[in-house]
Amino acid sequence: MTRLTELFEVENQSPWLDNVRRDWIRDGEMARWRDRGVRGVTSNPTIFQKAISGGDAYDEQFSGLLASGTSVVDSYWEMVVADIRDTLAIFRPVHDASNGLDGFVSVEVSPLLARDTQGTIAAARHLDDLIDQPNLFIKIPGTTEGIPAIRQVISEGRSVNVTLLFSLSRYREVMEAYIAGLESFEGDLSTVSSVASFFISRVDSEADARLEAIGTADALELRGRVAVANAQLAYAAFVETFSGPRWESLAARGARVQRPLWASTSTKNPVYPDTLYIDTLIGPNTVNTIPEKTLEDFEDHGTVARTVDSDLSGAAAVLAKLAAVGIDLDDVTDKLEREGVASFSASFDDLLASLTEKANSLR
CB 74 within 8 A of CB 119: no
Q: Give the per-residue pLDDT at 51.
A: 84
**Given the residues 50, 139, 293, 358, the one annotated as active site:** 139
- In-domain check, residue 208: no
Rounded CA separation 65/34 (Å): 31
- In-domain check, residue 179: yes
- In-domain check, residue 218: no
Rounded CA separation 161/267 (Å): 22
HSE of 154, CA atoms in CB hemisphere, 13 A: 32
Known catalytic membership, residue 139: yes
Q: In this predicted model, what pLDDT tens digit does every residue of 214-259 receive, in sequence order?
A: 999 999 999 999 999 999 999 999 999 999 999 999 999 999 999 9
Q: Give the per-residue pLDDT at 10.
A: 97
Closest CA to 292 of 30, 88, 54: 30
- In-domain check, residue 210: no
Region 276-285 average pLDDT = 98
pLDDT above 80 for 336: yes
pLDDT above 80 for 53: no
- In-domain check, residue 253: yes
The domain spanning residue 134 has which CATH number?
Answer: 3.20.20.70
Strand partners of residue 16: 289
Q: Find the domain containing 175 and state its range.
A: 3-202+238-311+333-362
Question: For the chain, what is the domain count?
Answer: 1
Helices 29-36/292-301 angle, 10° precision: 30
Rounded CA separation 226/206 (Å): 10
- In-domain check, residue 223: no
- In-domain check, residue 351: yes
pLDDT above 80 for 362: no
Q: Give the per-residue pLDDT at 38.
A: 98
pTM above 0.85, yes or no: yes
Q: Give the per-residue pLDDT at 284.
A: 98
Percent of the chain with pLDDT over 90: 89
- In-domain check, residue 264: yes
Region 49-78 average pLDDT = 89
Q: Give the per-residue pLDDT at 239.
A: 98
Q: In this predicted model, what pLDDT tens digit does every residue of 146-193 receive, in sequence order?
A: 999 999 999 999 999 999 999 999 999 999 999 999 999 999 999 999
CB 184 within 8 A of CB 160: no
